[in-house]
Amino acid sequence: IAATALTVAAFTVDAALGAVMEPGSMLNSRPIFGLRWYGFGNVTFAVYASAGLVLAGYIAHRCLAAGRRGGAIAAVGAIGFGIVICEGWPSMGSDFGGVIVLTPAVLWLMLALSGVKMTWPKLLAIGGSAVLAVSVISVLDWLRGPDQRTHLGNFVQRIIDGDALDVISRKAVASAETMVAPVGLGSVVIGVALWIVIFRYLVPRIATVFSTLRSTLIAALIVAILGTVLNDGGIFVWLTVTAQITVVAGWFFFDWAERNDWTPSALVAAHR
């Protein structure tokens, strides 16, 4: 949890400074790819979103343990939407897809913590809110004028000019190519297996020390799936989120095992 807090703090500061740590970094696109030279890339988004959701979920757990459900929901909203703003604002992360993907995940976690029953109309409203959020940011960026716009505002202009489908199709092809590649197919197979193991075997044991873990992991899974489908980074969003969640869940599991003397040597001794 300390590591997730440090990650969120570092990325937030970077966003506030205009993403100065991103160009050429290990988490972002290399200059050789010839992509945009500002804002957060897909892998950066995946790391930022995963860390933020885990941090928000754990703080919510502590609030619920203290009998403060309102505080839990507020904490998730503050951290979650704070990350959404840092991720999508033109002078910060400037990530169009990140806003669409993370907004539903944050809203899902807030509703899950509030105890509201999920229905199809609510799920559609969550999806609509994501589109509304990115639309507002993009229009505000477009209003700044051609010489100050980022790709968010430029996309609005493309819609007006009638050639937005070209951008969408190009990004869809780029995303699909990552998923049908050997690394992509392997990541899907291994990733699905890891998520099943985490939900079926780890979550029931960890729930005693992280009561909101299941809802938090569902929110992270939403990011992993939507981020893969809706971003041109494709499978790299799935891979990054899955790897990060596996490490977090694994750490909590081994901590639980140690506290309960649930180790291979202890099991062997008990069997004898």
Contact by Cβ (8 Å): 135, 143: no
Residue 34 has pLDDT above 60, yes or no: no
Q: HSE on the CB side for 159, CA within 13 Å?
A: 10
φ and ψ at 158, to 5 degrees?
-65, -35
Q: What would the pLDDT profile of 240-271 be if each residue is shown by its tens digit?
A: 999 999 999 999 998 888 888 776 655 445 44
Q: How many CB atoms lie within 10 A of CB 70?
A: 10
User: Which of the residue ranges 80-89, 93-102, 120-129, 164-173 would you say has the lowest mean pLDDT?
Assistant: 164-173
Burial of residue 79 (number of CB atoms within 10 Å: 0-12, 13-18, 19+) = buried
Number of residues in the chain:
272
Lookup: tokens for 124: 């559609």
Contact by Cβ (8 Å): 138, 155: yes
Secondary structure letter of residue 34 according to DSSP: -
**Cα–Cα distance, 155 to 237 (Å, whole number):** 22
Q: What is the dihedral sign for C-alpha 171, 139, 9, 242?
A: negative
Q: What would the pLDDT profile of 52-93 be if each residue is shown by its tens digit?
A: 999 999 999 999 999 999 999 999 999 999 999 898 888 887
More confident residue, 232 or 109: 109
Secondary structure letter of residue 173 according to DSSP: H
More confident residue, 137 or 222: 222
Report the 3 state secondary structure along 94-148.
CCHHHHHHHHHHHHHHHHHHHCCCCCHHHHHHHHHHHHHHHHHHHHHHHCCCCCC
Q: What is the pLDDT of residue 267?
A: 47
pTM: 0.86
**Cα–Cα distance, 15 to 92 (Å, whole number):** 5
Phi-psi region of 34 (alpha: psi -120 to 50; beta: other; left: phi over 0): left
Q: What is the pLDDT of residue 31?
A: 59
Quick one: average pLDDT of 12-34? Answer: 75
Q: What is the pLDDT of residue 29?
A: 63
C-alpha R_g of the chain: 20
More confident residue, 150 or 84: 84
Contact by Cβ (8 Å): 149, 142: yes
**Cα–Cα distance, 200 to 65 (Å, whole number):** 24
